Amino acid sequence: MAHKLEERMHSEVTLVHPDKSIKYAGQILKAVGIGCLVVVDENGPVGILTERDIVQKVVANGLNPEEIRVADVMSKELITLKKESTIEDAVDIMESKEIKKLPIIDNNHVVGIVTMSDMVKYLREMEKKAN
C-alpha cells in the first residue's frame, strides 16, 4: 500500500526571501532549530538554502554574511513533489538526485517539507510492521 507524502510531511515550513542576507537566514535557522529554508519570492518557490550552502559557499570562502544575499548561495534547482505523491516517490527522488530535503508544493505554494531523516524513520516503521 502506497502512503501519501502528505501523511509524513512537516506542514510548518520556514521561508526566506532571496534578497535577505545570509546572516539573517542563519539567524532564522538557529532560532527555529532547522537545517534549511525554502526560498520564495512574489512568484512562489525559487530555491532552497541549507546550512551546507552557507558553510561551503560563504564561511569557507571568508565572505561577509551581512553582504551576501540568499540568492547568491541558494540551490536554484528546486526539486519538489506534490503532496499527492507517495513516500516511495520521495525516497526515489532523494536517492537519485542525492538530496536530503524535499519541499512539497501545491498550486505553486510550499505546503510542506520532508527530509531524508523522515524517510528513514518511515522505512524503519514499515520494517517493524513487516516483522
* Total-model pTM: 0.89
* pLDDT tens string 9-61: 899 999 999 999 999 999 999 999 999 999 999 999 999 999 999 999 999 99
5-130 adopts what CATH topology? CBS-domain (3.10.580)
Spatial separation of the C-alpha atoms in residues 25 and 22, rounded to whole Å: 5
Of the candidates 23, 32, 18, which has an alpha carbon nearest to the alpha carbon of residue 113? 32
